[in-house]
Structure 1
């Protein structure tokens, strides 16, 4: 989907140093390179983007990406979430689609990203404000893990709600329900992203601490794209050890 200015597709990697659950995780070593550098290089190596940037509030992360020869933008303002950080960075850029790649997910799957971008070229694409990925959760421990954000969709695969708790609640255990994990990679229309930036947080987003709920609260439509690829986010020191073993 690479192209001219009017349909330019870029990737933005929001990178906050003081992550609440695992401070400094993006600068931890992941088999010879930092987590944020691994993620940046993985995004570039997909070949799907006209440009890839890290956007950060941290001098440490800024210097790291510069030293690795990458493109990085320093945030001028304090931000509550990654989408706000990206919106500040792209406000004056001439871009069409902005993909938010999580800085703590260095195992980027090119095919999943390509499927995500493809929805903007399909029939009915004008209805889509943003698109994101989901993957089935098969183990009960994964379904109940509050670090895994769950998503439910309608029959047209537009998101109905996101939660850290298992949704839907299994009152009828015989119901044939598949639980889906939300993978925090988004493809936004720039216009939807800028709307998000200018609109205040509402109670549901504040309660769950899931930023994409803001889009739903303001009536935006989020197209969910299923992938079988399991994302590996680094939320805890244990996750980092798992990632090191995968790289090894």
Structure 2
């Protein structure tokens, strides 16, 4: 394998959400949230950007903004499955050799983070790449909602191999802990393999999809970035995103 030569960004989105129904179309300063995420993908300028939509109203919003959308089955079990279906429809000839999966509820994602997700794929042994940032808030070290990436990074090293992901406070001992950011870059063949794998035992136990790849021997490497984007899951998160994306402001550290 070599470094990807022709990546594509795919953003999965669906209207169903327990805590914030219809969140892809939630208004943020006059535009749906999904359009903000799409714009961040375009700004990264790593390749074409498409939104993989579970419902036609999401596709309509993206097309109205000038973007490209692919309608997918509404019953996919994960965003990765939705991304794979959209990829097959948009690129049946296999022109794109890497896929950056950006979650549709990350309106404050920085374009530089999208770019950084591809760096680990420079190593031909890496199947999947993802991101993490050093945990700065003490409370986040023990918060089970903050997923930790277990990576051994020497001082100055910014890319390392993922050994595990957990909601627990790991690893033990002195040293930094890393907040996993759920943005993935797949080699095309790795994505196809991943979506066909059965659920892993540890995946089910931790409720972390990326453990399926590790349990089946796939290699995930992590690129270190400076900021953690705000994931919008609740009305309070939405209000926070509106504040961060107020006119005249850009996505910022929080």
TM-score, normalized by the shorter chain, greater than 0.5: yes
- For these two proteins, the number of residue pairs brought into alignment is 235
Equivalent position of 1:214 in the other structure: 212
Equivalent position of 2:236 in the other structure: 238
Please, which of 160, 167, 181 is the counterpart of residue 157 of structure 1? 160
Equivalent position of 1:128 in the other structure: 126
TM-score, length-normalised on structure 1? 0.87
Equivalent position of 1:42 in the other structure: 40
Counterparts of residues 1-248 of structure 1 (less than 5 Å): 7-49=5-47, 51-76=48-73, 78-91=75-88, 92=92, 93-121=94-122, 125-155=123-153, 157-168=160-171, 170=172, 175-248=173-246
Q: Does the Cα contact within 8 Å between 1:137 and 1:181 map onto a contact in 2?
A: yes
Instruction: Measure, in 2, the Cα distance between the counterparts of 1:164 and 1:118.
Output: 25
**Residues 166-213 of structure 1, C-alpha deviation per residue, up to 9 Å, x if partnerless?**
223x5xxxx312121111111110100000111111222122222111
**For 1:127, what is the secondary structure of its paired residue?**
coil
Q: Does the Cα contact within 8 Å between 2:41 and 2:49 map onto a contact in 1?
A: yes
Coordinate RMSD, CA, aligned: 2.0
- Report the CA distance shift for 1:22/1:147 in structure 2 as closer, same or farther (over 3 A): farther
Q: Does the Cα contact within 8 Å between 2:100 and 2:117 map onto a contact in 1?
A: no
Instruction: Measure, in 2, the Cα distance between the counterparts of 1:57 and 1:117.
Output: 26
**For 1:210, what is the secondary structure of its paired residue?**
coil
Deviation at 1:119, TM superposition (A): 2.9
Q: Does the Cα contact within 8 Å between 1:136 and 1:228 map onto a contact in 2?
A: yes
* Ranges in structure 2 where 5+ consecutive residues have no aligned partner: 154-158, 247-254
- Detail structure 1 runs of 4+ shifted over 3 Å in the superposition: none
Q: Does the Cα contact within 8 Å between 1:134 and 1:224 map onto a contact in 2?
A: yes
Instruction: Measure, in 1, the Cα distance between the counterparts of 2:241 and 2:99.
Output: 27
Deviation at 1:148, TM superposition (A): 2.1
Deviation at 1:77, TM superposition (A): 6.0
Q: Does the Cα contact within 8 Å between 1:84 and 1:196 map onto a contact in 2?
A: no
* Ranges in structure 1 where 5+ consecutive residues have no aligned partner: 1-5
**Residues 117-150 of structure 1, C-alpha deviation per residue, up to 9 Å, x if partnerless?**
23333xxx11100111000112133233333221
Equivalent position of 1:3 in the other structure: none
